[in-house]
Amino acid sequence: GVLLFNGAPGVERNPSEAVQWFKKASESADCVPSEVFYLLAQCYQYGIGTSKSKEKAKVCFQKASDQIHVQSNARLDTFDGFS
């Protein structure tokens, strides 16, 4: 998902497909890295590869924050200011 989100040599950037992979990873029963929730939250926040959803972004930021993701903690502190 991250390679599709950012693009890389030999991998064309495709945010919509990246979001699908982030969603699959976030729904996995395995341990989900906080970075997956953080990136998915950004996609929802800014409408990258998916529709904007403040509510879904907040849920994902919270899940990342629960795993001690520092950037997500900072985002939650100022969440009401999101556009």
Provide mean pLDDT across the span 51-55.
Answer: 94
Question: pTM of the full predicted structure?
Answer: 0.81
Please state the φ and ψ torsions of residue 73, each to the nearest 5 degrees.
Answer: -60, -45
Residue 63 has pLDDT above 60, yes or no: yes
Cβ contact 41:72 at 8 Å? yes
Q: Which two tokens stand for residue 20?
A: 């699908």
β-pair partners for 11: 8
Using pLDDT thresholds of 50, 70 and 90, give the confidence band for residue 76.
Answer: confident
Provide mean pLDDT across the span 37-48.
Answer: 94
Question: What's residue 80's pLDDT?
Answer: 67
What is the distance between the alpha carbons of residues 47 and 33, in angstroms, rounded to a whole number? 22
